[in-house]
Chains A and B, each alone.
Chain A
């Protein structure tokens, strides 16, 4: 089964870029890579997702390695509101057969 590995915690200074890594060496060709973040006592919030190509949106960028065995979530300019637990997730979907693999997440601390 696919598995994701993330560092338990990271720190970053405010207004600096943050690179959050995720290893998924057993990813299958049809697994989507999703990133969500979770603030204390809240439900997870979608950040970004991709399949093979790098993706950008208003919140972040997702860089996917060419072999797809790892990915990096990039927050371009961290703010205090970005402090959260970030989850890297593999989502396999095949005609209603769904399988999601959550990592244990990276707790991101932003230093003012």
Chain B
């Protein structure tokens, strides 16, 4: 049982490049989330999904897109990376809503130059 895994662990992009971050969970969880964490800060919710085929905007969605084609996977896309998107990105999943705990992945450290 791997829990929540994220790919890749590290990435350096040039401004304007695109990339996709992959999150996978093997716990059959309905809810999945993408967060970003800037240095010395707490987490901020980018997008989330309450089930396969659904996505919704969180607190800071601009510049990102997401897809949840399969229940176990949640993809985060950056179409045209900007230096302001340099951050650590965490994925999480939970059985359902706020009454359940979230399980976090190990994070992806992204640098945009």
Listed in ascending order, the chain A residues whose CB lies under 8 Å from chain B are: 31-32, 34, 36, 41-46, 49, 51, 87, 91-93, 96-100, 102-105
The answer to the question of B74 belonging to the interface, with a C-beta cut-off of 8 Å to chain A, is: no
Nearest 3 CB-CB pairings of A with B: A91-B98, A43-B104, A93-B97
Q: Known contacts being A96-B54, A98-B50, is A46 close to B43, with CB within 8 Å? A: no
The contact string, 1 if C-beta is below 8 Å from chain A, for chain B 31-57, is 101000000011111001010001010
Q: Known contacts being A43-B104, A46-B103, is A87 close to B56, with CB within 8 Å? A: no
- Which range contains the number of B residues in contact with the other chain? 20 to 34
Distance in angstroms between the alpha carbons of A97 and B3 in the assembled complex: 25
Q: Write 15 A-B pairs (CB below 8 A) sorted by A numbering.
A: A31-B98, A36-B102, A41-B107, A43-B107, A44-B43, A44-B102, A49-B98, A49-B101, A51-B99, A98-B31, A98-B45, A98-B48, A100-B33, A100-B98, A102-B43
Asked if B104 and A44 make an inter-chain contact with CB atoms under 8 angstroms apart, the answer reads: yes
The answer to the question of B106 belonging to the interface, with a C-beta cut-off of 8 Å to chain A, is: yes
Asked if A103 and B42 make an inter-chain contact with CB atoms under 8 angstroms apart, the answer reads: yes
* Besides the known contacts A91-B97, A100-B45, 15 further A-B residue pairs in the complex with CB atoms under 8 A apart: A34-B98, A36-B102, A41-B107, A43-B90, A43-B106, A44-B92, A44-B104, A45-B104, A87-B42, A87-B43, A93-B97, A96-B54, A96-B56, A98-B48, A98-B97
